[in-house]
Structure 1
Amino acid sequence: MNYRKIAAGGAVLALAGLMLTGTPAHAKAPAAACAGSNQVKETLPNGTTWQLCWRMQPQAGLVLEKVAVSYKRYPQQLLVLDSIRLAQLNVPYDSGETEYNDITDYGFGGGFLETLTGDDCKGGSARTGSDGAATPRRRKILCVSAEPSGLAYRSHDWDAQGREKVYNKLGHDLVLRSISKVGWYEYVTEYRLHDDGQISARLGATGDLSPGDYVNSSRGWPIGKNARDYASMHYHSAFWRVDFNIDGKNKDKVEQYDTKPDGRGPATAKLKTTKTDIAKEGSFNRANRRWWRVVSDTSKNTDGHKRSYELSVGADDKYEGHPETTPDVTFTQSHACEKYASGNADPQCATKKTIIDFAKDKETLKDPVMWVRVGFHHVPRDEDQSPMPLHWQGFDLTPRDATNMNPLTPDGRTSQNGQPR
């Protein structure tokens, strides 16, 4: 594999042409959990403020910690995550001849972490920090930007006097990203913090197809002139480690919901949704109309509903080659030595190499950690050269009852809480 390092540069201050102002004066923000240079605290145009700490870890790369949000309408800051980071990237090739675990074998930090340059952070702020190497260097390694996310909501309504009114609003995301080069691939670790409280974790892949991984036609796709060179098909199975701490209470639990047919009503089929408490460690797979949430057992919104965040996974290709790449999500009790979804090498967890091992104990979940796997089977195409267009895989953490209404609700709609009477 070909690795390289790039020297650090100076900082950029503008953020995507949008003014980020910091926490509003009326927000009750706790004391900072990290030094100023490792803190991000920005207010988006709609009044949503995100505050967090960031650092670069040698294997995992970009780590976000103490992630909290507040809103113009709900100024009390809400802690959501203790931490979120990548926990493995398994890359097996369809030929069966090559396989990499890019996080634990190489790493996204240190010498594999790229210095931001050119258009890497155009319109954003390139933050300088320690690259996490054994002999750390301070470089421009984190891009922070505010980016329009499209239409946030729209409602065509009439007021009490019968006057027509259209409510619509453009949304924005606070985006944090870093770039790591492992072999021929260049990976973009990205977290998008939406102004409605949603958190999107994404891994983008670009760079180049590996020139050493061309195979016969049954396991590759023809790239180049005629049917001569076949770039190998391969997998990217990415894992994230998500440690919740909703409202800072350390009283979270896990619930699974399933919706199944339940007879027939006068107009159509009836569906029934049931809840299953996941009280002990385990691995789980998706099914039609199945979803999970991490819910606070003590913190409630002003409607009296328990605050939670729901896991939403989009496109996914499951790799059946390893037991740990088969589950969609695994929940384990928090242990400091359980760091990586596979290849876990902490001597204090000598017998726990993978998430399957972590969950075998069936410990009671008092402080649950969520391990999310999202796979992508890459079938190369002519357009992948060169450089390869970015392709993405990831998941969303969507607030469920964290606030009593949409935190972006306009003034004219604040009375619409519950069924109109």
Structure 2
Amino acid sequence: MVKSSYFPLNVTFHYVGLNEPNKLLVLSWLSSTHRPSLPREAIVITRIDQKTHEIIVDLSSVSILSDKIYNGHGYPMLTLQEQTAANELPLSYPPFISSTKKRRLKLKEVACQGYPVGWYGEEKKSTNRMVKVICYYLDGTINLYMRPIEGITIIVLLDQMTIASYIDRLIVPVPKANGTDYMGSKRRRSSHDESNSTKIVQPDGPSFTLDDGNTVRWGDWKFHVAYDMRAGIIISLASMFDADKGEFRSVMYRGFVSEVFVPYMDLTEEWYYRTYFDAGEFGFGLCAVELEPSKDCPENAKFIDGYFISQDGTPGKMPNVICVFERYAGDIMWRHTEDAIPGEKIRKVRPEVSLVVRMVSTVGNYDYITDYEFKQSGTIKVTVGLTGLLEVRGSIYTHSDQIKEEAYGTLIAENTLGAYHDHFFTYHLDLDVDGHENSFVKNNLKTRRVINKSSPRKSYWTVVSETAETESDAKIQLGSSRGAFEMVVVNPNKKTDIGNEIGYCLNPGGSATSPLLSDNDYPQTRGAFTKYNVWVTPYNKSEKWAGGLYTDQSHGDDTLAVWSLRDREIKNKDIILWYTFGVHHVPKQGDFPIMPTLRTGFELKPTNFFQYNPVL
């Protein structure tokens, strides 16, 4: 319908997603016994005649409600098709063919990959969408990322699909293929190959249900799972059944990955621009892969398909893109042994079983395993596993003793430097703790000195609480003077029977990482939302993407950090909790040729949400 409305102009589709109804309308609809249909609308981001259009479509009437041309800085997500087309251009480009001959490389063994160019202070808005294409040499390996062809910079204009600039600056040895293959049939056998298989058996079937394909019910939990081209998994309307109250109580209206910022630390000509926004530029959902039963997910998993729109507007199906399964890893939910009662010995143990929702996104060389784990205690554990292949730079070095200057990485094999880099994950968490009017409380521990002789003790600590009034009060940089021991979203309008505020606590669990780049470095300007681990903003339907709606080549003028400058009131309001965590990755030889999975994440834990332990 959109294509026909603009015929004969060429329309390319970059994103199609739900244009969610007003939140209060949805909450009213959910609580009503008489349910008229909610508005069913989609947001469609297209490029038409080299302009970015933001189109709202009414799915019920199949009509266009609005069409807004975006004139600001930045462009929409790259499409898979244009990435493929850009990757193929160098292979028929005479100067590049000449460069491969100069390096004595076989052209048929070359593969290329396009990367966003970023922004580096140009005041005038760029009128060209572009990528820089990097090429790799296969010849003896499938691990192309371990054999980069260094010294060449290729700029491709995406709308014209032409090479605009080509520089062959220097020749660096291409790393050897030896030892780079990670396929099981090619590597040396080890004791790990002889491990006995482990199976998950549920004779009576899983304990959860998938109603209408996407609504999950498990134990006291109920929530909705959806796929989005940009965010990947979206968890909505998560609530827990309270047996004492006989009703479901809301926990989270919506939660998803808002952005993934991956800046590399290499300043050389062919590397300085590699500062990626994996959700906003590539699409966490668009890069999701089909999950393999019994490998990506255990045998007891159920699978959910995802649907996306291709560049030409054709719908595509991603089979088995999300899996849901119950996990028991031998963990203990709670236990106690009591032998202080004369004549009795009490031992009580409750094993911990949880429910996991999983997706895997392969963004270039990296594979991200995203888990949402729901626990019977009411906790939601969010984990990201990082694996896949390092991004490496070809080098003249064959031994670390030869390195006498800044190498921007670790020598992980001969002629192969694993580049230093970061991964910052920013989550958008619309917590509705027992209702949508919430506040944000920072709890800190303070030492008190005993100044009288009321006790033999000289000191103790106590909890000092502060309720954030505005956005600036809620910004937290963990591990600094702006840190907090405990961060709780509370419902100030409801209390437990004994008067405690009902809440959910953000538990970083050691995942907190802060950027080390200077604030005026251009990548950090675009990724300024990572400066603080915690932000709290009032609900705003348009504020979903921490790096801005149009991230590719953006200038950082439409980000969470900019929105928060308004310093809006957040006390007893409908608020959004944003949490950023991540890793500073210093590559090691053990990351070669493929990285063992590194996991990081956080938990959302009930705090006085229940009258007592809900898993007795």
In the superposition, the TM-score normalised over structure 2's length comes to 0.57
Q: Which residue of 1 aligns with 2:424?
A: 237
Q: After the TM superposition, which of the residue ranges 189-198 and 279-288 deviates more from structure 2? A: 279-288
User: Structure 2: how far apart are the matches of 1:56 and 1:77?
Assistant: 24
How many residue pairs get matched?
376
Amino acid in structure 2 at the alignment position of 1:333: P
Q: Over alpha carbons, which structure has the higher Rg?
A: 2
Cα distance change, pair 232–351 in 1 and its aligned pair in 2 (3 A): closer
Verify the 8 A CA contact 1:338 1:352 in the aligned structure 2. no
Q: Which residue of 2 aligns with 1:11?
A: none
What secondary structure is seen at the aligned counterpart in 2 of 1:121?
coil
- How far residue 299 of structure 1 moved from its aligned partner, in angstroms, is 3.3
- How far residue 345 of structure 1 moved from its aligned partner, in angstroms, is 3.3
Q: Which residue of 2 aligns with 1:199?
A: 380
Q: Which residue of 1 aligns with 2:478?
A: 286
Identical-residue share of aligned pairs (%) = 21
What secondary structure is seen at the aligned counterpart in 1 of 2:296?
helix
Q: After the TM superposition, which of the residue ranges 304-313 and 214-223 deviates more from structure 2? A: 214-223
Cα distance change, pair 385–70 in 1 and its aligned pair in 2 (3 A): farther
What secondary structure is seen at the aligned counterpart in 1 of 2:413?
coil
1:209 aligns with 2:390: yes
User: Structure 1: how far apart are the matches of 2:507 and 2:544?
Assistant: 23
Cα deviation digits, residues 227-273 of structure 1 (max 9, x gap): x42211110011000001122x2121111111122214632522232
Amino acid in structure 2 at the alignment position of 1:242: L
Cα distance change, pair 351–385 in 1 and its aligned pair in 2 (3 A): closer
User: Structure 2: how far apart are the matches of 1:340 and 1:159?
Assistant: 56
RMSD: 2.7
- How far residue 156 of structure 1 moved from its aligned partner, in angstroms, is 1.9
User: Structure 2: how far apart are the matches of 1:92 and 1:215?
Assistant: 24
User: Structure 2: how far apart are the matches of 1:214 and 1:20?
Assistant: 52
Cα deviation digits, residues 196-219 of structure 1 (max 9, x gap): 111111111111112457798532
Cα distance change, pair 92–69 in 1 and its aligned pair in 2 (3 A): same
Q: Which residue of 2 aligns with 1:319?
A: 515
Q: Which residue of 1 aligns with 2:261?
A: 90
- How far residue 125 of structure 1 moved from its aligned partner, in angstroms, is 2.0
Higher RCO (CA 8 Å, separation ≥ 6 residues): 1
Amino acid in structure 2 at the alignment position of 1:221: T
Within 5 A, what are the aligned runs for 1:152-163?
Answer: 152-157=333-338, 162-163=343-344
Q: After the TM superposition, which of the residue ranges 368-377 and 317-326 deviates more from structure 2? A: 317-326
User: Structure 1: how far apart are the matches of 2:302 and 2:591?
Assistant: 28
Q: Which residue of 2 aligns with 1:360?
A: 565
Verify the 8 A CA contact 1:187 1:203 in the aligned structure 2. yes
User: Structure 1: how far apart are the matches of 2:237 and 2:362?
Assistant: 27
Cα deviation digits, residues 133-190 of structure 1 (max 9, x gap): 4523151111111112501112122597752201211111111110111111111111
1:59 aligns with 2:230: yes
Cα deviation digits, residues 373-412 of structure 1 (max 9, x gap): 1020111112213332111121111110111111112xxx
Q: Which residue of 2 aligns with 1:172?
A: 353
Cα deviation digits, residues 25-67 of structure 1 (max 9, x gap): xxxxxxxxx9611111123xxxxx3211111111111110011
Q: Which residue of 2 aligns with 1:374?
A: 581
User: Structure 1: how far apart are the matches of 2:496 and 2:233?
Assistant: 31
Verify the 8 A CA contact 1:87 1:340 in the aligned structure 2. yes
Within 5 A, what are the aligned runs for 1:103-118?
Answer: 103-110=279-286, 112-118=287-293
Q: Which residue of 2 aligns with 1:397?
A: 604
Which residue of the other structure, out of 338, 343, 349, is the alignment partner of 2:548? 343
Verify the 8 A CA contact 1:38 1:129 in the aligned structure 2. no
What secondary structure is seen at the aligned counterpart in 1 of 2:529?
helix
1:183 aligns with 2:364: yes
Cα distance change, pair 191–336 in 1 and its aligned pair in 2 (3 A): same
Amino acid in structure 1 at the alignment position of 2:584: H
User: Structure 2: how far apart are the matches of 1:67 and 1:399?
Assistant: 13
- How far residue 344 of structure 1 moved from its aligned partner, in angstroms, is 3.3
Cα distance change, pair 90–408 in 1 and its aligned pair in 2 (3 A): same
Verify the 8 A CA contact 2:304 2:323 in the aligned structure 1. no
What secondary structure is seen at the aligned counterpart in 2 of 1:108?
coil
Cα distance change, pair 268–171 in 1 and its aligned pair in 2 (3 A): farther
User: Structure 2: how far apart are the matches of 1:60 and 1:308?
Assistant: 26
1:296 aligns with 2:491: yes
Cα distance change, pair 237–368 in 1 and its aligned pair in 2 (3 A): same
Amino acid in structure 1 at the alignment position of 2:545: Y
1:223 aligns with 2:394: no
Cα distance change, pair 71–386 in 1 and its aligned pair in 2 (3 A): farther
Q: Which residue of 2 aligns with 1:12?
A: none
What secondary structure is seen at the aligned counterpart in 1 of 2:543?
coil
Cα distance change, pair 385–300 in 1 and its aligned pair in 2 (3 A): same
Cα distance change, pair 71–223 in 1 and its aligned pair in 2 (3 A): farther
Verify the 8 A CA contact 2:260 2:424 in the aligned structure 1. yes
Cα distance change, pair 153–193 in 1 and its aligned pair in 2 (3 A): same
- How far residue 301 of structure 1 moved from its aligned partner, in angstroms, is 3.5
What secondary structure is seen at the aligned counterpart in 2 of 1:299?
strand
User: Structure 2: how far apart are the matches of 1:215 and 1:344?
Assistant: 41
User: Structure 2: how far apart are the matches of 1:337 and 1:344?
Assistant: 9
User: Structure 2: how far apart are the matches of 1:302 and 1:162?
Assistant: 36
Amino acid in structure 2 at the alignment position of 1:39: T
Which residue of the other structure, out of 331, 342, 354, is the alignment partner of 2:536? 331
Cα deviation digits, residues 359-384 of structure 1 (max 9, x gap): 11111111110110102011111221
Amino acid in structure 1 at the alignment position of 2:361: S
Cα distance change, pair 363–86 in 1 and its aligned pair in 2 (3 A): same
- How far residue 74 of structure 1 moved from its aligned partner, in angstroms, is 7.2
